Amino acid sequence: MLHAPGDLRVEQREVPVPGPHDVLVEVVAVGVCGSDVHYYEHGRIGSRVVSEPLVLGHETSGRVVALGSQVARRSIGDRVCLEPGVPCGCCRECRAGRYNLCPEMRFLGTPPVDGSLTNYLAVHEDFAFPLPATVSDEAGALIEPLAVAVWACRRAGISAGDCVLVTGAGPIGLLVAQAARAFGATEVTITDVSGARLDFARRLGISATIDVSSSPVTDVALEVDVLVECSGRAAALADAMGALRPAGVAVLVGMGESEVHLPLEALQRRELWVTGTFRYANAYPAAIALAAEGQVDLESMITGRYGLDDAVAALRSSREDPGSVKALVRP
Amino acid sequence: MLHAPGDLRVEQREVPVPGPHDVLVEVVAVGVCGSDVHYYEHGRIGSRVVSEPLVLGHETSGRVVALGSQVARRSIGDRVCLEPGVPCGCCRECRAGRYNLCPEMRFLGTPPVDGSLTNYLAVHEDFAFPLPATVSDEAGALIEPLAVAVWACRRAGISAGDCVLVTGAGPIGLLVAQAARAFGATEVTITDVSGARLDFARRLGISATIDVSSSPVTDVALEVDVLVECSGRAAALADAMGALRPAGVAVLVGMGESEVHLPLEALQRRELWVTGTFRYANAYPAAIALAAEGQVDLESMITGRYGLDDAVAALRSSREDPGSVKALVRP
Amino acid sequence: MLHAPGDLRVEQREVPVPGPHDVLVEVVAVGVCGSDVHYYEHGRIGSRVVSEPLVLGHETSGRVVALGSQVARRSIGDRVCLEPGVPCGCCRECRAGRYNLCPEMRFLGTPPVDGSLTNYLAVHEDFAFPLPATVSDEAGALIEPLAVAVWACRRAGISAGDCVLVTGAGPIGLLVAQAARAFGATEVTITDVSGARLDFARRLGISATIDVSSSPVTDVALEVDVLVECSGRAAALADAMGALRPAGVAVLVGMGESEVHLPLEALQRRELWVTGTFRYANAYPAAIALAAEGQVDLESMITGRYGLDDAVAALRSSREDPGSVKALVRP
Amino acid sequence: MLHAPGDLRVEQREVPVPGPHDVLVEVVAVGVCGSDVHYYEHGRIGSRVVSEPLVLGHETSGRVVALGSQVARRSIGDRVCLEPGVPCGCCRECRAGRYNLCPEMRFLGTPPVDGSLTNYLAVHEDFAFPLPATVSDEAGALIEPLAVAVWACRRAGISAGDCVLVTGAGPIGLLVAQAARAFGATEVTITDVSGARLDFARRLGISATIDVSSSPVTDVALEVDVLVECSGRAAALADAMGALRPAGVAVLVGMGESEVHLPLEALQRRELWVTGTFRYANAYPAAIALAAEGQVDLESMITGRYGLDDAVAALRSSREDPGSVKALVRP
C-alpha cells in the first residue's frame, strides 16, 4: 500500500467477498505501468491525489477462485485478465459506447480505488475476460497496455496498407507499433532518443527506426497516414506532424506536457485530424484475440519479474535500468 | 488587375474562348472575400505571391452566354454560380474525393490563376452550377462562402440536436452559424469582440451571442458538441476548447496564426477531435439546396454593392466600415 | 391489463415503490402504438407472447411525484417523458453504445414487462428525461416515436442537402419525414396508398407526396440519397429501391414481412447500403431538442384523446377510423 | 479478339501510340477472370453486349516501353500493374471519391473498350502502378482481383480482432479471406461446396473451412462480425446471414442472381448492414503493399500458365479443370 510518495508497504488485509455479480480473482501477474511509478514517486497524477493509503496496480491476470451468487458466465478455475475500469453504465458517455469517458469510472489503482498489487480481488464477471490457452498468465497481465494500443490504432482508423509513424519506443509505443501492423499497416516506423529502445523495437520486428537524438524526423522524407505520439514530448509531436499526408490523423497517447503546439497551416492545408486517447473502450476482446493469434508479442516485452515483497524494486526498475521495458510483479 | 499591393487597375482584355468542355459565363456578381483584400493589401498570402498582374475574385455568379463544342449539360441563358477551384481529377487526393487538397488545383483569383472580377470567364461546365429560381444572382455569388460553411459543418459532423459554438461573427462565422442550424443543430451560440457583428447575427436569427470583449467564453457554462473557430484568433480557440463535451469536435476555419496551442489534458481526457478546413469538396449542391430552401439567408448578408470601377472601394469597405459584412461587385 | 387477445381490463394495483435510483412518475399521457394494437388483437408479436396479464403502453409522459433514496438529478414536480427500454448496461452491445440491441433489454409494455397504461410507474432517473417548457405533456408522449424517427435518420446518415424518400405515411413515416427535414434534407417525398394520409402529410408541411395506389414510385423520376421504408410492405420497398442514387442508403423501419427481396445488381452496381432499425439508442436528447425548437410538430399528430377507461377505444381507433393518426390515453 | 461467343481469334493490330499522359506498356501477364469467361461463352454480361470484336482481359502486369510527352511520374523500364478502369474524373461520383461508380467509366475488356490480352497497351500514367521488387510480374497481374478483395474488406470495415465468414472459395473468396486476415481479422472461416477448393484454402493458411455440400452454415454455431458473400449463390447468403452478430455487415461480392432474399427480422432486430461491391476505388496502393509485404500470397493462386495462342485453353481451364484456381496468359 502506498502511504506517501516513496512509502510503499506490504500489509495484511481481508480477502474481499465478491458481490452477486463478482468473481473473486487470485492475482497471478501484475504489470508495472508508468502511472504506478508516478503515484509512487509523486503521490499524485495531476488532480488525482493519493490522500489515503492506496493499493497500486491495474495490469492484471489471475485465476477465478470464487463466484458471486448471480455469476453466470465465468467458472472457478478460469484464467482471466482484468479490465480495470468499471464505468457507471448509464451516463451519456456510457450509453454512447464511450465508457472510458464516464465521469463515474472506478479504475483499479487510481485514487480512491485500490489496485491489483495484492493477492485477491473481487471484480464484476464481465470485466474478467477469459484468456485463451495460447496467452500465458504473464502475457495476460499485458493485455491492459495492449488495449491502450488497440484503442489508439482504432481511433486512428489504421487499416490495410497504411503507413504509420510511432514516436516514442517505450512500452506503449512498442505495443502501438505491433498493433498497427496487426491492423494492416504495411509500413511502421518508430522513433526514440534511446538506441537501446530502438534495438528492442527491431528485435520485436519493427525494422524501421529513427534515432531522433541524432536525426530528427524532419530530416527524413516520410509520408505517413497516421502518427501515434507515445513519447509525451511536445518536440517529438511538432517534428512528426510534418510527416503526415493530407487527411492524415495524429493520435496523442503520450502524456506529460500541458499544451501541444500545432502548426495551423498544416492542420488546414492538409486537413489533418488530431485527437488524444484516454485509456480504451471495447478494446479487450480485440487485444486478447491479437495476442492469442500471435499478432502481437507480449512475452518478449517482459524484462523483469518480482515478488510482491519486491514491488518497490519493480517500480524502480524502469527508472534505474535503461534496458527495462516492462516489469512484472507475481504475488 | 492587381499589379502590386494597393495597385488595382481596370484593363481591357480579350473575351476568353471556351474550350470544348467549357461554358462562357458573363459575370453578374462577385463577392469580396478576405483573401481578395489580403492580396490587395499585401500582394501575397503566405507562400502564394502575386508576381504577375492578377485578376482577383472567386465568389461568382453569372449567366451562360456561349458553349464549348462538347458541352452537354448546360444551356445558353443558364443562371449559374461558379465553383472556383478545378482540381486535376486523378491524383491521390482527387481519387479519394478530397479534391480540395489536390496539389494541382487551379483556383480563381489565386496566383497564377486569374479570378472573376471581370466581365467574361470560361469555366468547365461541371464547375458552373445552375441556380434555382429561388436563389437570386446576388445570393448566387455567396454560394462560395456558404460552401466553406457547409464543408466545416460536414467535417464537424453536425447533426440533429447538436449544440454548436461558433467563434467569430465575420461573414464565414455568420454563414457557419446559419448552416449549423440547417444541419440540425438546435443550439447555436456565436461570439465576437464586436457588438455590431453580434447585433447582425441576432438579426439573422442567431439569438445566442457572447461579446467576448467583455465576457470570455470561459465565464459562460457552455457544453457544446462542436466548436467552429472562424475568428482566426488563437485566444478565441483556447478559451472555447473548454466548452467542448467529451468526444467533441473543433474545426478550425479561421486563418491568421501560425500555431495553435491546445490543452493536452482536454484532448486526451475528453478525447476531443481537432481539424482544420481548406476550402471545400462536394459542397456546392448542398449549399445551393440550402439557399434555395431558405434554410440560409444570403441576401441579408450583403451590405454593399459596387461597380467594377469601384472595386477598390469594395475591397476597402470591409476594413473601413465596421458595419460592412459582405461587399458585392456587379461588373 | 391485457389478459388475452381482445380482453383488456382496468384493474387496481399497488402504487409501485421506487428503488434507490428510481423516480415515481404519475402518468399524464400515453400514445397508442401499432405494437400495442398488435398485442391487443393477437396476444403476441412474433416470438414475444403475452402469457401473463400485461399492462400495455410505452409512449409516456408524466410528472415526478416521488424520488428514490439515491436520486440525484431529478426533482419532484419535474415534467418528464420516459425512455421505455432499460438495458443491462454491461453486455457487448451496451458497452459498444448499441444498447437497443441488448439481449437483456427490459422494455415497457413488452412481455413480461408491464407498460405505462397505468397511473404510476417507477423508472430509473436516467430514463426519465425532463421536458422543456416548449414541449407539452401530450407532445412529450410522442417523443418515443420521434426517437424511432431520429434513429432512422441518424442511421441513414441524413445530412444537409439530402433528398429523402419516405414510403408509408403512418405515424412513423410522418415523423421520419419531419425529422429528415430537421436533419437538413432539402427534398422530402412521402408515399402512401391513402389519399387521406397524404393530405395529412401536406398539412404537416411535407409537400411532395406520391399516391402509390395510382402512380407507383417507379413511374416517377426520383433520385434520392436516402430511402426510409415505413410501410412494412415489401412491394413499396422493391419499387422505391430503384430511386436510390449510387451509394444511397435504405433504412427499413416498417415491420410486417418476413423477407425482403432486393435487386442484387442495384445493390452492387450502385453500392447501396441497406439496414433495418430496432427502436433507438441515444436518441431521446435529440428528439426532445427537435420538438422543443419546433423543428418537428408533434401536437398536430394527435387525432384522438381517451381516458384510461376508454383505452380499448383508443386501441381500436387506428383500425376503425381512417382519419386517425395518433391516439392518446390520458390516465 | 472475341468476335462472337466461342469465337476468339489472334489478330495483328497496330501498336497503340500513347497520348501525352499515357505510358505504352508491353504486357507481361494477364489473369483470366470469370467475366472474361462469361463474355467468351455468352457474348454478354447483362446489358453489356459484345457487338463489335473485343479484346478481353483486364488483370494485367507489364513493362513501360514508351512515354507520352507529358508523362512525369513513370520511366521506361518500370514494372507496372494496370488499374483497368479509367473514370471521367469530374462527375458527382468521381468527385466524391467513388470513381468506381462513374457512369462514364472506361474499363479494359468491357465493351466497347478493348482489354489487355494483347502485346501493347497505352494507359494513363496514373493508372499504371509501379510494382515493388518483392511482387513478381505474375503476382502483379493478380493485383486487380486483390483490389476487389481489399475493397470488399474496406467496405465491410474489417478491423483487428474481427471474425469474418467468407462464402465461396473461388479466386475472389480466397483473396478476400487472405485480405481479411491482413485487415486484422483473427478468425476467418471460408465455405464452399467443393472439397478441393477448401483444401486449396487450407494450403493458403485459411484453416477454418466448412463444406456446405454436407454441413450448412446454419448447423455451425458461428458468430461473425462480417460476412463476405463470394459464391454468387442466394442460398449461401441466406444461410450465412444467421451467423452475423448484432450490427454485423454483409458485403455481397458474388454475382449471378437477380434478387437476394433477406430476413427482415434479422436486419431489424440485429440492425445488420448489407451492401454490394462494384469493382473498387483507391484500392491499388493497399493491394500492392499487402502483396509486397507478403500479407497475401498471390503466387500460390496461379494454377496454369498459357501463351497468347492458348488463350482459349486458359479461358476454358476454369470450367474444365476443377483444380484450376487462376489461369494466367503470358503474351
Mean per-residue pLDDT over chain A, rounded: 95
Spell out which residues of chain A touch residue B257, defining contact as CB-CB under 8 Å: 264
Q: What residue ranges in B150-268 does DSSP mark as E strands?
A: 163-167, 187-192, 208-211, 224-229, 244-252, 259-263
**Per-domain residue ranges of chain B:** 2-142+298-329, 149-276
Spell out which residues of chain A touch residue B91, defining contact as CB-CB under 8 Å: none
DSSP state at residue C44:
E
Please give the angle made by the CA atoms of D245, D249 and D252, to the nearest 5 degrees.
130
Distance from CA of C98 to the nearest CA of D (A): 8
How do strand B208-211 and strand B128-130 relate by DSSP bridges? unpaired
Distance from CA of B284 to the nearest CA of D (A): 11
β-partners of residue A2 are: A8, A54
Provide the pLDDT for residue C216.
Answer: 85
Spell out which residues of chain A touch residue C124, defining contact as CB-CB under 8 Å: 90
Distance from CA of A38 to the nearest CA of B (A): 16
In whole angstroms, what is the distance from residue D164 CA to residue D185 CA? 7
Who's near D125: CB < 8 A, 6+ residues apart? D21, D22, D23, D67, D68, D71, D72, D73, D74
Q: Which of D88, D159, D275 to mutate to test the interface with C (most CBs of C within 10 A)?
A: D275
Provide the pLDDT for residue A62.
Answer: 98
Instruction: Collect contacts of C99-105 with beta carbons under 8 A, ≥24 apart.
Output: C99/A95, C99/C281, C100/C151, C100/C278, C100/C279, C100/C280, C100/C281, C100/D271, C101/C278, C101/C281, C101/D246, C101/D247, C101/D269, C101/D270, C101/D271
Contact B94 D96 (CB under 8 A): no
User: Residues of B at the C interface (Cβ-Cβ below 8 Å)?
Assistant: 150, 153-154, 159-162, 179, 182-184, 186-187, 285-287, 289-290, 292-293, 295
**Nearest Cα to A194, choosing from A34, A326, A322?**
A322
Q: Which chains would you list as touching C if contact means 3+ CB atom pairs under 8 Å?
A: A, B, D
In whole angstroms, what is the distance from residue B141 CA to residue B33 CA? 11
**Residue ranges of chain C whose pLDDT lies below 50:** none
In whole angstroms, what is the distance from residue D198 CA to residue D188 CA? 13
Provide the pLDDT for residue D321.
Answer: 87
Residues D111 and D50 sit within 8 Å (Cβ to Cβ): yes
Provide the pLDDT for residue D257.
Answer: 87
Residues in chain D: 331
Q: Which chains would you list as touching B if contact means 3+ CB atom pairs under 8 Å?
A: A, C, D
Q: Which chains would you list as touching D if contact means 3+ CB atom pairs under 8 Å?
A: A, B, C
Type of residue numbered D134: T
D231 Rama class: left (phi>0) / alpha (psi -120 to 50) / beta: alpha
Spell out which residues of chain B touch residue A277, defining contact as CB-CB under 8 Å: 268, 271
CA D184 to chain centre: 20
Contact C282 A96 (CB under 8 A): yes
Phi, psi torsion values for B303, nearest 5 degrees: -115, 0
Across the interface, which of C184, C186, C285 has its CB nearest the CB of B184? C184
Contact C247 D101 (CB under 8 A): yes
**Nearest Cα to C253, choosing from C179, C187, C167?**
C167
Q: Which of C95, C102, C123, C288 to mutate to test the interface with A (most CBs of A within 10 A)?
A: C95
**Nearest Cα to A155, choosing from A90, A194, A97?**
A97
Distance from CA of D256 to the nearest CA of C (A): 9
Cis peptide before A87 (omega within 30 of 0): no
Provide the pLDDT for residue B238.
Answer: 87
Mean pLDDT of B11-23: 95
Cis peptide before A112 (omega within 30 of 0): yes
Q: By CA distance, what is C282's nearest residue in B? A: B161
How would residue A134 be classed by pLDDT, with cut points 50, 70 and 90? very high
Provide the pLDDT for residue C46.
Answer: 82
Type of residue numbered A39: Y
Phi, psi torsion values for D267, nearest 5 degrees: -55, -40
Other beta carbons within 10 Å of D235: 13
Contact D91 B281 (CB under 8 A): no
Distance from CA of D99 to the nearest CA of C (A): 11
More confident residue, C215 or B251: B251
- Tally B–C CB contacts below 8 A: 67
Residues in chain C: 331
- Where helices occur in chain C by DSSP H, the ranges are 34-42, 92-95, 137-141, 143-156, 171-182, 195-203, 234-241, 264-269, 284-292, 311-320
Give yes or no for residue A203 having a pLDDT over 90. Answer: yes
**Nearest Cα to A111, choosing from A171, A46, A22?**
A46
Distance from CA of B252 to the nearest CA of A (A): 7
Provide the pLDDT for residue D149.
Answer: 98
β-partners of residue D23 are: D67, D123
Other beta carbons within 10 Å of C166: 36
Give pLDDT tens digits for A9-64.
999 999 999 999 999 999 999 999 999 999 999 999 888 899 999 999 999 999 99
Cis peptide before D112 (omega within 30 of 0): yes
Half-sphere exposure of C158 (CA within 13 A, CB side): 33
Q: By CA distance, what is A292's nearest residue in D? A: D186
SS3 D163: strand
Percent of chain A with pLDDT over 90: 91
Q: What residue ranges in D175-272 does DSSP mark as E strands?
A: 187-192, 208-211, 224-229, 244-252, 259-263
Q: What residue ranges in A74-218 does DSSP mark as E strands?
A: 79-82, 85-86, 106-107, 120-124, 128-130, 163-167, 187-192, 208-211
Who's near D170: CB < 8 A, 6+ residues apart? D34, D192, D197, D230, D231, D325
Phi, psi torsion values for D80, nearest 5 degrees: -135, 160
Name the class of domain B2-142+298-329.
Answer: alpha beta
Other beta carbons within 10 Å of B194: 16
Residues C146 and C291 sit within 8 Å (Cβ to Cβ): yes
Contact C184 B285 (CB under 8 A): no
**Residue ranges of chain D whose pLDDT lies below 50:** none
Architecture of the domain delimited by A149-276: 3-Layer(aba) Sandwich (3.40)
Provide the pLDDT for residue B220.
Answer: 82
- Tally A–B CB contacts below 8 A: 109
Who's near A215: CB < 8 A, 6+ residues apart? none
Phi, psi torsion values for D5, nearest 5 degrees: -50, 125
**Nearest Cα to A3, choosing from A48, A43, A58, A46?**
A43
Contact B295 C184 (CB under 8 A): yes
In whole angstroms, what is the distance from residue A115 CA to residue A129 CA? 17
Other beta carbons within 10 Å of A327: 26
Mean pLDDT of B275-281: 98
Q: Which of A146, A150, A154, A159 to mutate to test the interface with D (most CBs of D within 10 A)?
A: A159
Q: Which helix or strand (DSSP H or E) is residue B85 part of? A: strand B85-86
Q: Output the nine-digit C-alpha cell for C17.
A: 415503490
DSSP state at residue D42:
H
User: Residues of A at the D interface (Cβ-Cβ below 8 Å)?
Assistant: 150, 153-154, 159-162, 179, 182-184, 186-187, 285-287, 289-290, 292-293, 295
In whole angstroms, what is the distance from residue B268 CA to residue D146 CA? 38
Residues A32 and A142 sit within 8 Å (Cβ to Cβ): no
Contact D95 B91 (CB under 8 A): no
How large is the ipTM?
0.96
In whole angstroms, what is the distance from residue A282 CA to residue A150 CA? 10
Provide the pLDDT for residue A156.
Answer: 98
Across the interface, which of C89, C96, C285 has its CB nearest the CB of A282? C96
Percent of chain B with pLDDT over 70: 100
Contact C183 B160 (CB under 8 A): yes
Give pLDDT tens digits for D133-149.
999 999 999 999 999 99
Q: By CA distance, what is A285's nearest residue in D? A: D161
How do strand D224-229 and strand D244-252 relate by DSSP bridges? parallel
In whole angstroms, what is the distance from residue A219 CA to residue A216 CA? 5
SS3 C266: helix
Contact B95 D282 (CB under 8 A): yes
Residues A203 and A169 sit within 8 Å (Cβ to Cβ): no
More confident residue, C223 or A216: C223
Distance from CA of D144 to the nearest CA of C (A): 18
User: Residues of A at the B interface (Cβ-Cβ below 8 Å)?
Assistant: 46, 93, 96, 98, 100-101, 155, 246-247, 252, 255, 257-265, 267-278
Phi, psi torsion values for A120, nearest 5 degrees: -135, 145
In whole angstroms, what is the distance from residue B60 CA to residue B119 CA? 11
Q: Output the nine-digit C-alpha cell for B271.
A: 478525447
Provide the pLDDT for residue C217.
Answer: 87
Across the interface, which of A46, A259, A271 has its CB nearest the CB of B277? A271
